Amino acid sequence: MHDEPMSPDSAETQQQENLDGTSRIVVAFAVLAFALGGIALWALRKQFGPVDNFELLLMLLWFFFSLSIAALVLAKVRGNRLRAQLARANEKLAAAQAKLDSMARHDQLTGVLNRRALIETLDWELLRSKRTGHPFCFAIIDLDHFRSLNEKYGSASGDVVLKTVAETSFKLLRALDRFGRIGGEEFGIVLPATWLDQGVIAMGRLSKAVAQCDWEAITPGLAITFSAGITTNAVNDTAELVIKRADEALLQAKREGRNRIVQAEEALPDMPPIDID
């Protein structure tokens, strides 16, 4: 059995106890040096012969010398403690910043990317496609009749449905794909290095996986499907144009009866007629 990792608070407490133990050892060493120095000076006083107030002078020198050493030791201990406290504070600040960054990029309910992060990913993929020439696909899926589901089974069941769809998609998609929640019952998927026909096949697999989830375990009689619109990138595309094209394909899928996938491509520009004379 593996040992459970120590919590941050426990680790901090252990570190503080170690530091306090070290401080006590250092202080004890300084006190011992203080005492031994005094004994040594007292024993050597006879080597100097009779001198007026020599013993008093010797004691004062011993006292101030030992006091200086003790002050330096305590300053060192305090400096180490302050550095340790500063390091812990920086670690906590970095962890809090990382958590805030993650919260700003992820949907609170499902844990997948949120709309802003998904659009940033789409922008990045457009730049990479222009640089490498590799195509990619973008799909929008919309859960069929989700509002009716909420009204019939309640919002709690609706939340479970959204989480289940997100988990199913996350497990099925490739590691390089990016899945996010656009809003409500709509999700977006970025499929890098993917031709349109490949993207349609991937959406077909996902549609089948979602439909085959054990929805009965959530609510008896429940069945979930989705409609999808998918497109590929074109020359001079922007994230807004790609999203608009995928959304238009999604609307067409809904008009055609839902539970289907419709693909869309940017229309080729009109070419002037070729004069062969």
Sorted by where each begins, the domain ranges of the chain are: 8-105, 115-264
Torsion, Cα 229 232 238 243, to 10 degrees, reads: 10
SS3 249: helix
The whole-number pLDDT of residue 3 equals 44
Tokens of 273: 């007629």
CB atoms within 10 A of CB 51: 10
Q: Give this prediction's pTM.
A: 0.65
Answer for the pair 254, 186: CB distance below 8 angstroms, yes or no: no
The whole-number pLDDT of residue 17 equals 56
Active site residues: 185
Say how far residue 11 (Cα) sits from the centre of its chain. Answer: 22
SS3 179: strand
* One pLDDT digit (tens) per residue for the chain, 277 residues: 344 444 445 555 555 555 555 556 656 666 666 666 666 556 655 555 555 555 655 666 666 666 667 677 777 777 788 888 778 877 777 666 656 565 678 999 999 999 999 999 999 999 999 999 999 999 999 999 999 998 998 999 999 999 999 999 999 999 999 999 999 999 999 999 999 999 999 999 999 999 999 999 988 989 999 999 999 999 889 999 999 999 999 999 999 999 999 999 876 555 455 555 5
The whole-number pLDDT of residue 1 equals 39
Looking at domain 115-264, which of 3.30.70.120, 3.30.300.180, 2.160.10.10, 3.30.70.270 is its CATH number?
3.30.70.270
Beta strand 261-264 with 226-232 is: parallel
Where is 142: in which H helix or E strand? Answer: strand 137-143
Answer for the pair 109, 162: CB distance below 8 angstroms, yes or no: yes
The whole-number pLDDT of residue 178 equals 96
Answer for the pair 225, 209: CB distance below 8 angstroms, yes or no: no
Interhelix angle 54-105/8-44, nearest 10 degrees? 170
**What are the phi and psi torsion angles at 111 (to 5°)?**
85, 0
